[in-house]
Amino acid sequence: MQIIALVGPSGTGKSHRATGIAHQLEAQAIIDDGLLIQGNRILAGSSAKRQPTRIGAIKSALFLEEDKVHEIKKAISDLAPAKILILGTSKEMAEKIALRLGLPAPSKFLNIEDVASEKEIRKAKYLRTQFSKHVIPAPTLEVKKSFPGTLVDPLQVFLRKRGVSGKKDWLEQSIIRPTFTFHGKLSISNHALEAIAGHAAKLVNGVNQAGKINIRVEQEGVVTIDIAPVLTYGYPLHVIASEIQERIIAAVEEMTGLQVQMVNVQVKGLSLEKNTVTKATV
């Protein structure tokens, strides 16, 4: 099975172009915002755009709910596609989705700039920011099942040039206004993220102090975390640092729905004091 990824920032027109690109690449299925889509059918999943909050939408898009992961895996197994197109805001997100669903890592990446002009991307961003219009690459009747009352209008996508018969080949998509756009803006401060990361780090045996923590927002819903802990003398530093990374990623992604791109650990110092913290599940 080959996995191809289409990546680009939110609101740049990935979902709008997904159907056409999948058609050109002969990909039998699309994974977009929590859904597995084949042609004119939603096979499995729950759309991130149906979530009541932006954080919930991010968690849904990253398949952080185990029941949805099992549902998608079974549908993929039943479909047995040769190619799947995954949509993501970054290469890291596409890789993480593939990993969560037990799929091979993407072998090919397409940037939105490769398939859309600067003018088209600007227009897509304008429609997203000004009118909260989101595209789902599935027909109106399919989308209505999951989006009662939120449908804006259908959108037809031309898939290939006129054939011998002179008829055009179209496939319908849907433009919707997600539930979370009616609830205002939800944001998580860097101080809150620092507190989560610091608490997770201190749960690791061998960590004396969490130390200085710096949060960098790389793009919407994606963060990088720098931490400079003080460790207890006598513990293997590389093992402790690795566990710090794992615990911080698990805690932040589970509690906030944000995607952690990387955790950089720089050991600030060593302490001769024994670490009294016992291991706990984050």
How many CB atoms are closer than 10 A to CB 66?
9
What is the full per-residue pLDDT of the chain (282 aa) written as tens digits? Answer: 999 999 998 888 888 888 888 888 999 999 988 889 888 788 888 776 666 666 767 777 888 888 889 999 999 999 999 999 999 989 999 999 999 999 999 999 999 999 989 998 988 887 777 666 666 676 655 565 655 545 555 655 555 554 445 555 656 666 666 665 555 556 788 899 999 999 999 999 999 999 999 999 876 668 899 999 999 999 999 999 999 999 999 899 878 877 788 999 999 999 887 654 444 333
Cβ-based neighbour number of residue 57 at 10 Å = 26
Return the SS3 of 261: strand
Query: Nearest 5°: phi and psi at 69?
Result: -60, -45
Sequence-distant (6+) residues with CB within 8 A of 126 are none
Distances in whole angstroms, Cα of residue 177 to Cα of each of 11, 41, 101, 193: 13, 20, 27, 29
- Give the CATH H-level superfamily of domain 190-271: Cation efflux protein, cytoplasmic domain (3.30.70.1350)
Q: pLDDT at position 282, please?
A: 36
What would the pLDDT profile of 188-236 be if each residue is shown by its tens digit?
888 999 999 999 999 999 999 999 999 998 766 688 999 999 999 999 9
**pLDDT tens profile 234-252:** 999 999 999 999 999 989 9
Residues 6+ away with beta carbon under 8 Å from 210: 197, 198, 199, 201, 202, 227, 229
Per-residue pLDDT at 276: 46
Which pLDDT belongs to residue 64?
A: 82
DSSP for residue 108:
E
Start and end residues for every CATH 3.30.70.1350 domain found in the chain: 190-271
